[in-house]
Structure 1
Amino acid sequence: MVVLNKIYTRTGDKGDTALGNGARVAKFDHRVEAYGTSDELNCVVGMARLHAEGDVDAALSRIQNDLFDLGADLCRPDMEKDNESEYPVLRMVSSQVDRLEREIDAMNARLEPLRSFILPGGSALSAYLHMCRTVARRAERLAVQLASVETVNPDAVKYLNRLSDWFFVAARIANDDGRADVLWVPGANR
């Protein structure tokens, strides 16, 4: 259980922060960039939820919780030392990726195949879901960059990759099952 009695600590006033294992690193460290961007994504998902209801809102709620799991995973290096921790270390697991794939497949079954690229927009929910997609892609790029220099849970990277796909398909669903998608017209304004 997390208990936050005091919000400011002054421990980061000199430009460093603590990771999940207590190690201190610069606030611009690759690991901090990766989990910070997953936190940013969670905020954008919260904005999308302002326009969602029913099953979509419930799915976005699950995703927000997953994104906190993801942040907990990314903020803790040294996966090989997980079993030495005094408490269980939270890591992303393949079942979270599998759930996204099942949901993508179910949503995609309702849609006609694409014949053009889609411009972000249409309904407000669709526009926000496209914003979620682009922030998820950035979070994925940062996690992959981190993985090029440090150990990163492969399921964390897979989750981000599937999540951006989930947002894309959900954005089409939010546009009247793709019927209200805004299509790109190559060279339309030449």
Structure 2
Amino acid sequence: MSGFKSFLFSLALLSSFVGLAQERIITVAPNLSFENYEHFKRLVLDSPDSEVVFLEGFEYEWGYTYEIRVNERKLPSTLSDGTRFEYEFIEVVSKTKVIEDTRFQLFIDPDRYFEEDADEGMNQTLVHVNDSTYRYFDMVNILVSPKLKAKFDNAYIQGKARLGHFEYVSGDTIRFLGFK
């Protein structure tokens, strides 16, 4: 019985830590990640060592890898969207620019909402800026070369969601290299 009491004590001790914030340093990737959320799609932070998707007060810039200090607090129960932790931004520990032609993948979906009858203007994630540039989720400019424009436009016009290959150009501008 003492083993069982020890188990119960350990369980009670562990459950008392739920809700306490733990300070830690996490990595944030140099590009945002595409996420299918509950009723819509969005771009979120990409962190290989945490579940963070958004940090109030953190000013993200494309093309930089970050080490950031956060408070991480385990929620008492998992939210309906799968969220298990709450994060509070403390400070940027390091910010490192990636080499400009570094390649990465990003999912491109021209529709923000899952519903077929969503308002056309509100539903668009891609806005045609000029002959060679699109603005995606109002967060990043995508440069499309004349050689790849027909392929990109075809997916865009037909509303096809595709995994794309990209490289960093500068600031919030990336270059489309093709679809997978």
In which range does the TM-score fall when normalised by the shorter chain?
Answer: under 0.3
Higher Cα radius of gyration: 2
**Whose helix proportion is higher, 1 or 2?**
1
**Whose strand proportion is higher, 1 or 2?**
2
Give me the TM-score of the superposition, normalised by structure 2: 0.23
Give me the TM-score of the superposition, normalised by structure 1: 0.22
